[in-house]
Amino acid sequence: MSGMLEPDRDGEKRATLAEALRELRRAAGLSGERLAVRCAMSQAKISRIETGRILPTVIDVEQILRALEVPEEVAEEILALTRAANVDYTSWRTYARIGLWRRQVEIQSLTSAAKEVRQFLPAIPSGLLQTRDYARYAFMSAVAGRPAGDVEKMVDARLAGQSVLDDPHRKFSFLMTEQAVRWRRAPVEVMAEQVAHLMGLSARPNIDISILPVDVDVFAAPLNIFVIYDERLVKVELFSGSVVLRDPRDVAYHREVFDFFLSRALRGADAVEFLQSVKEEFQGEIDGGALEC
């Protein structure tokens, strides 16, 4: 992970990109207004890009470079810099320094700004779908080296963020693997309650919960948790932190991945029936344990 960028390095990349584009325009002898005309952009947008107030997409920079007729080798360097600037990596160590609970606030902010959210969940239900007890166990890491935090404060922040689900104008698609539903992240009583909670949420018209079962042929590996916010960005969860991707091609690729797995998943009534069967299995364990006592 040594090549990934921490927040201060991200800022340096953005500032370097803004300066490079500004110098290329000046070398071409063009004013900001003239470049804006050639790029079919507003002069204000060109100004904000060149001063670093906004981060241009790869597509924006491609348009600018074409308008400036930049040599191919220079264009490749600038595009590489643009792609790097459009990737933000934040480690768990950084979150620990500012307060792990703040990560929940950041997620809430991203979700509240989106009209459509797609979450791919190969190992655990989304925080937006978790009960309080399940969330508490989810925050209790047993992995050595992972920063510890105020669990109750993180749980409170997570549950507060779930209010976004109450907005009927926002659409949420949660695609979970069977393992994400069954994986024992908590005692069986908590697991049964969590599955029942998923069933209840699936009845909401703005929430789609789909399950990718283990007995379906899927010739691809569901590797990472990722969340797609509209067409704007993708957030990918790693063991050591999270990566935000803004390149439209990265966003489009993750949408293709999501749709690929979704096409093989149980949806609607079939997903609810599956969840009901898992809940009954957990309940059977609870009842069997009570009888043994």
pTM metric for this prediction: 0.76
pLDDT digits 0-9 by tens, 128-173:
999 999 999 998 865 555 555 678 888 998 999 999 999 999 999 9
Tokens encoding 17: 């990109």
**Burial of 99 per CB tally in 10 Å (0-12, 13-18, 19+):** middle
Backbone angles phi, psi at 210, to 5 degrees: -120, 150
* Element at 208 (helix H, strand E): strand 207-212
Domain-by-domain residue ranges, the chain? 7-85, 89-292
pLDDT band at 8 (very low <50, low <70, confident <90, very high): very low
Q: Give the C-alpha separation, 186 to 191, whole Å.
A: 6
**Mean pLDDT across the chain, nearest whole number?**
88
- State what percent of residues in the chain have pLDDT above 70: 89
Structure letter (DSSP) for residue 243: E
Tokens encoding 263: 């096409």
CATH code, residues 7-85: 1.10.260.40
pLDDT digits 0-9 by tens, 29-38:
999 999 999 9
Q: CB-hemisphere CA count at 13 Å for 80?
A: 6
CB 139 within 8 A of CB 154: yes
Is CATH 3.30.870.10 what the domain over 89-292 is classified as, yes or no?
yes
Query: Mean pLDDT, to the nearest integer, of 113-141?
Result: 94
